[in-house]
Amino acid sequence: MSQTGVQARRSAVYLLDQVLGESRMLTEVIASGALDKLEPAERATAQRLALDTLRSLERADRLLQKHLKKHPPLSVRNALRIATVELCNGGAAHGIVNSAVEIVGRNKRTATMKGLVNAVLRKVAAGGQEAWDMLRVPRMPKWIREPLVLAYGTEAVIEIEKAHYAGAPLDLTAKGDIGALHRSLGGELLETGSVRLADNGQVSMMPGFKRGSWWVQDAAAAMPVQMLAPQEGEAILELCAAPGGKTMQIAAAGAKVRAVDDNPARMERVRENLKRTKLEADLQVGDALKETGTWDAILLDAPCSATGTMRRHPDLPYAKDGSEFGELFELQAQMLDHAIDMLAPGGRLVYCTCSLLPDEGECQVEDALAKHENMKTDVEALKLPGIDPAWITEEGGLRLRPDYWADKGGMDGFYIAVLRKA
């Protein structure tokens, strides 16, 4: 096995150590420089191995427990997990096993376990792939699975878990003509106006990226702005704007957008994306609750649990535990009330969250409608091409789930409501 392969796998072990041992999100770990010393190909391999292992964690542990009398240290266990996932998905046993043994052997605290790692992985290589295919689709941890079963039922949650396990294709939003983007890159042109690619390669090297012709944005995440329907020259307030996909959509429509977010680092990313796409927006780093003024159109992409993004972020169920739910629910209610107060008579407000929890979507809008008698939901604004009427909820919002469009590759979990002030 090449040194490059060992380094990528060693880095993947570190990523898992941080997620499973320190409850850190992969994006946070990578942003802190964890992969900076690797070559681009190594970085991509390390991330892929970590993501694949997190998606398959339950299966890997079920196979490994047959060969382990007790749990080894976390880093050893993670090396075993990564190797097991690779072996059971058709990887070459010799290189995979040798890499895992070398990784464990490099650490003085775990070097004595080289023999154990070698023996266990030889057993997995011998019969693991057949056993792997017979295991159930990995389930979400209980802290998130139980409320979702309560909301949607067991059968629906199993379908959501299948979507999580399958991972996510790459969806693109065009700055201009979506048809031209489709002709340039191929893939599938979705009814909602996104181009979906199954095998994308390195994003920054794809045609049109450097010119700023498009940006990566899940099809579900692109829908709130489509339902807001920004008009050329219109002034729009966007609250909680980072990472900026919706900001670019609004700006590309010709509207004047004031984008507010309290995270300076994430807003710098928005600035970079606007520069690449040659779009303009008024970026403000600050607290959305301190914004003032009167606006005819507001987009509130409220801070949330991000549970709708688990098919792209399989680290989330392991880096979080739901303990922040109460604070998030309260903050969402405050932001929604504040946005409604800033909305001009006759104005429209889009409230959305990338969450699967009704408490962050349906319940928030129900409560807002009860408190603000001059507000009502605009169901007609939701009825765009590609939207199944069955997805429209009782209070007049739109519930999107990862198992929707299963034949197309699914979508992120999202909740969207368009509210109008009398």
Residues serving a catalytic function are 354
Q: What are phi and psi of 16, to 5 degrees?
A: -65, -40
Order of all β-strands in the sheet with 170-174: 188-189, 195-197, 170-174, 214-216
**CA proximity to 394, closest of 362, 419, 347:** 362
Token couple for 176: 């201009």
Cis before residue 243, ω within 30 degrees of 0?
Answer: yes
Euclidean distance between CA atoms 140 and 52, whole angstroms: 15
**CA proximity to 54, closest of 175, 198, 167:** 167
Euclidean distance between CA atoms 317 and 305, whole angstroms: 10
- Please report, for residues 15, 224, 238, 392, 396, the alpha-carbon distance to residue 27 in angstroms, rounded to integers and kept in the order given: 10, 24, 24, 32, 34
| Continuous segment of H or E residues that includes residue 216 | strand 214-216
**CA proximity to 317, closest of 305, 325, 327:** 305
> Which residues, 6+ apart, have CB-to-CB distance to 24 below 8 Å?
18, 319
């004047």: which residue's tokens? 256
Token couple for 70: 């007790």
**CA proximity to 246, closest of 233, 259, 256, 234:** 259
The secondary structure of residue 37, as a DSSP letter, is: T
Kindly give the interhelix angle for 154-166 and 142-152, rounded to the nearest 10 degrees. 130
């309560």: which residue's tokens? 150
């023999």: which residue's tokens? 115
Residue type, 187: G
């159109």: which residue's tokens? 297
**CA proximity to 124, closest of 141, 100, 144:** 100
- Please report, for residues 78, 220, 379, 397, 416, the alpha-carbon distance to residue 392 in angstroms, rounded to integers and kept in the order given: 42, 14, 8, 6, 9
